[in-house]
Homo-oligomer: A and B are copies of this chain.
């Protein structure tokens, strides 16, 4: 990763830490370690002070860390992580308070508490807050992931024919993603017919039948960044009811997306989608309307009725309303949207699709 970008992030992190009077942060969440150091391996923590960024790793990753993190001081640990952190902090005379991320497990926190001498505190959402505003290179990376997803789906779409099972279609789509040099950002969901009424359906051996509907919820991780999208298809002829539901969900999604610009409250975006579904007299979905994504497929911000906060330029999140009627149908449409200075940009598709475009004959 570009060294200048990492330096900018560290400066921003230090500003946030200073506001909270913290002069040392132990970063334990893998995506936060990657964000603040550029390191792509596992089992490593970062320590950010006012003067330096340390990466604590082990012999498996030392070589990788040296090439990925030129601006970090690499510490190769041999014993437990907590001991290595304590040893480092003992040497840092300027550090008065040591703080660890609240996402850390209780077991790790307690091990640190035993080892680290200055009073150990915890803090939430320092790096997560920075990550919620994407830099241009991050937006480009998400767009690249979205392009891979579109290509993979285009190739897999040919296999959507009566007789294929949900599992086989998952396998074929994932195969195309791999062929394009990417990986899944989460386990692909494929649901045929009424199976789609469960938002978290586990794909099985149900075979696709003539006039069945297909829901595909999948994502790609490409060069560390994730995308996440849901597409629906009809194999044959769409029923009048399915068409109605499709129009409702598409309008709900469009209504939410059109709300997006800096300053708007996240819960207003959520409400815009729900209102359309309710106006169609269809059951309003139980899940949130969207979630941020980037290095992780679920990150800040959350777009839901309970979420607080306002949109800021640079945020990227999904908008994914749906309609679920057990035993009958499930339909969700999901795209990834960037908040721009003046409004929004959809990162996962170009234009509105009519129901005719989702029919596969």
Using a CB–CB cutoff of 8 Å, the interface residues on chain A facing chain B are 40-42, 58-60, 63, 100-107, 109-110, 122, 124, 165, 167-168, 170-172, 174-181, 183, 187, 199-200, 202-205, 286-287, 326
Would B174 and A171 count as touching, CB distance under 8 A? yes
Would B102 and A110 count as touching, CB distance under 8 A? yes
Cβ distance A29 to chain B, nearest Cβ, rounded Å = 10
**Could you tell me the distance between the alpha carbons of A107 and B104 in the complex, rounded to whole angstroms?**
8
Which of the residues B122, B167, B176, B200 comes within 8 Å of A41, measured between beta carbons? B200
Would B205 and A181 count as touching, CB distance under 8 A? yes
Would A60 and B167 count as touching, CB distance under 8 A? no
Would B178 and A168 count as touching, CB distance under 8 A? yes
Would B171 and A175 count as touching, CB distance under 8 A? yes
Would B178 and A171 count as touching, CB distance under 8 A? yes
Q: Chain B residues near A167: list those with CB within 8 A.
A: 178-181
Instruction: Please give me the residue from chain B that is nearest to A101 by CB atom.
Output: B106
**Could you tell me the distance between the alpha carbons of A309 and B60 in the complex, rounded to whole angstroms?**
25
**Could you tell me the distance between the alpha carbons of A102 and B180 in the complex, rounded to whole angstroms?**
40
**Could you tell me the distance between the alpha carbons of A177 and B176 in the complex, rounded to whole angstroms?**
15
- Provide a sorted-by-A list of 5 A–B residue pairs whose CB atoms are within 8 angstroms: A101-B106, A102-B107, A165-B179, A172-B175, A174-B178
**Could you tell me the distance between the alpha carbons of A180 and B167 in the complex, rounded to whole angstroms?**
8
Q: Chain B residues near A171: list those with CB within 8 A.
A: 174-179
Would A200 and B170 count as touching, CB distance under 8 A? no
Q: Chain B residues near A181: list those with CB within 8 A.
A: 167, 204-205
Would B286 and A60 count as touching, CB distance under 8 A? yes
Known: A106-B109, A171-B175. 19 other contacts (CB 8 A): A40-B202, A60-B286, A101-B106, A102-B105, A102-B106, A103-B106, A106-B106, A106-B122, A107-B124, A165-B179, A167-B178, A167-B180, A170-B178, A171-B178, A171-B179, A174-B174, A174-B175, A174-B178, A181-B204
